[in-house]
Amino acid sequence: MNLRNPFKNLLKRLLKKPSKKKIVIISGIAVCVILTGVGLMFLLGPGEDENTANEEGKVENIQINQIDYDNIVMLNPFKWIQLENTSYMSEVSIGIALEVISEDKIDAVESNTDNIRTLVRKMIQGQRWIGLRSPEGKLKFKYMLIQKINTLFPDIVIRNLYLTHLIMRKE
């Protein structure tokens, strides 16, 4: 028995002369199909993931990008640094914390704090508020700072950088 022909004939008849009744029927069928699909996805959705459970049924502890709080160096906050002159917002206050690769590198970062602050101040002064207002702009600025700060050292020292606060104001 060929089930396609009755459906094709029904569709041809429904689509010949569009009327309110036909539009309601077609949209009702579409809604039913969508709701059925969502219901099946909900009922037959993924169960227990085999990769996260071991043989005994216990869930493994997976930690990605674990922060080592002993390796963080807090810089003194930057208070109201002038942004680029063409900016709508003219000043920014920013707080930065640096995550160092290992504890033995903390002394190198702390002894270079003045150079890091000078570099960060120059980088902020070259920014516009339009770039810093979006999450993507903040991420771009963050990774640019990490890259520039790491150039002050012979090898990579800064693993991550955290913007603890970022406030902009119009003068």
Side chain identity at residue 8, one-letter code: K
Q: Residue ranges of the alpha helices (H) in 101-161?
A: 106-111, 113-125, 129-132, 135-150
Domain limit, last residue, from 62, 86, 112: 62
pLDDT value for 53: 47
Domain limit, last residue, from 46, 62, 78: 62
| Structure token digits, residue 133 | 């207002």
Total domain count for the chain?
2
Structural domain range at position 25? 1-62
- Whether residue 49 is found in the same domain as residue 119: no
CA atoms within a 13 Å half-sphere pointing along the CA-CB vector of 79: 1
Domain limit, last residue, from 62, 91, 115: 62
| Structure token digits, residue 28 | 């009702």
- Whether residue 58 is found in the same domain as residue 75: no
Give the model confidence (pLDDT) of 102-116 as tens digits.
888 888 888 888 888
What residue ranges of the chain have pLDDT lower than 70? 1-4, 11, 14-15, 17-18, 45-69, 86-87
pLDDT value for 101: 85
- Whether residue 98 is found in the same domain as residue 24: no
CA–CA distances in Å: residue 24 to residues 11, 15, 32, 89: 14, 12, 12, 53
In angstroms, the CA 133 to CA 124 distance is 13
pLDDT value for 164: 87
| Structure token digits, residue 147 | 């890259």
pTM: 0.55
